[in-house]
Amino acid sequence: MLDKKSLRILKILQEKARIPNTEVSRLVGLAPSAVLERIRKMELQGIIDGYEVRLNPERFLRNQVAFINVEYDGGFDGDGAIGQALAAIEEIQEVHYIAGKDSYLVKLRVADTRELGNVLRDKIITIEGVLSTNTSTVLQTYKETARISIR
């Protein structure tokens, strides 16, 4: 479905999404108009979902990462209501429903452990149906990317 040139374009965009099209065209050996058309097509097909700036969390007081296991009472989770309530919390970056454990795994970013406590107390355990939480705080991050290796 995607040929070598398109994969090449995506790899370039994964590194530097704000690169000019003409530079991409030089790198992949196509005319700028051809590159433009390929990118457009991939955007329309939903292969490319968008472009994001990567901000440095340290500069925005979002240095503390934590993962939280959220257990709940099944009676309150119709249509994933709890997952949606968790997703609405701004400090939470990821909400996953985990197989087998009947629980959600949540990733969040806050300034420090004090703020972590506040979010837990004020925003998470107050969700109707949430029974308990189990927090793992991160001491060090060795890798953190949304990149997928393209093949």
* 31 close to 37: Cβ distance less than 8 angstroms: no
> CA-to-CA distance for 84 and 78, rounded, in angstroms?
11
* Alpha carbon separation from 53 to 91, 108, 122, 141 (Å, rounded): 18, 19, 30, 20
Tokens coding 121: 């107390």
79 binds a second copy (CB under 8 A): no
> CA-to-CA distance for 87 and 84, rounded, in angstroms?
5
Binding mask 22-61 for DNA (x = CB under 7 A): xx-----xxxxxx-xxx--x--------------------
Least spacing, CB of residue 115 vs DNA, in Å: 27
Least spacing, CB of residue 20 vs DNA, in Å: 4
138 binds a second copy (CB under 8 A): yes
Binding mask 10-49 for a second copy (x = CB under 8 A): x--xxxxxx--------------------------xxxxx
Tokens coding 115: 């703020």
Tokens 């969040």 sit on residue: 108
Judged by CB under 7 A, the chain residues 5 through 24 that form the site for DNA are 5, 20-23
122 binds DNA (CB under 7 A): no
CA 79 to chain centre: 22
114 binds a second copy (CB under 8 A): no
Segment holding 23, helix H or strand E: helix 21-28
Residues at the contact surface with a second copy, assessed by CB under 8 A: 10, 13-18, 45-57, 59-62, 65, 67, 80, 83-84, 86-87, 90-101, 104-105, 109, 136-151
